[in-house]
Amino acid sequence: MKIRFFTFLCVLFISFQGVSQEGKLSTAKESLKENNTNSINTTKSSKKGTSDNETVNPLAKFFVAIFFYTAYGVVIETPFEFKGRMHRAEIALYPYKKKKYGNFIYAKSTDYALARIDIFDSFVKESKSLYGNHLGVDIRFFKRLGFEASFLKLFEKMNGKTATFSLYSAMLNYHRIRTQRFDLWFGLGTIYVGEDVHKFGFSYGIGTEWFVFKPISILTSIKASSINYRKVNMYKFLLKYHIKNYRISTGFEHFILGASTVKSFSVGVGASF
CATH number at residue 205: 2.40.160
| 185 located within any domain | yes
pTM for this one? 0.82
- Kindly state the DSSP code that residue 41 receives in the 8-state scheme: G
Q: Residue 131 domain-assigned?
A: yes
Average pLDDT for 228-254: 97
Express each pLDDT in 138-179 by its tens digit. 999 999 999 999 999 999 998 889 999 999 999 999 999 999
Q: What is the pLDDT of residue 11?
A: 44
As separate numbers, helices (DSSP H) first and strands (DSSP E) second, the chain gives 3, 12
Domain membership of residue 130 (yes or no) is yes
* Within a domain: 127: yes
Residue 22: the pLDDT is: 72
52 lies in some domain: no
Number of domains in the chain: 1
Could you count the other beta carbons within 10 Å of the beta carbon of residue 29? 23
Q: Please report whether residue 163 resides in a domain.
A: yes
Mean pLDDT lowest among 13-22, 132-141, 183-192: 13-22
d(CA 260, CA 174): 30
- The range of the structural domain enclosing residue 187 comes to 69-272
Whether the pLDDT of residue 3 is over 60: the answer is no
State residue 43's pLDDT score. 42
In this structure, is residue 36 part of a structural domain? Answer: no
For residue 40, pLDDT beyond 80: no
Residue at 256 is within a domain:
yes
Residue-wise pLDDT tens digits, 209-219: 999 999 999 99
Per-residue pLDDT, 73: 75
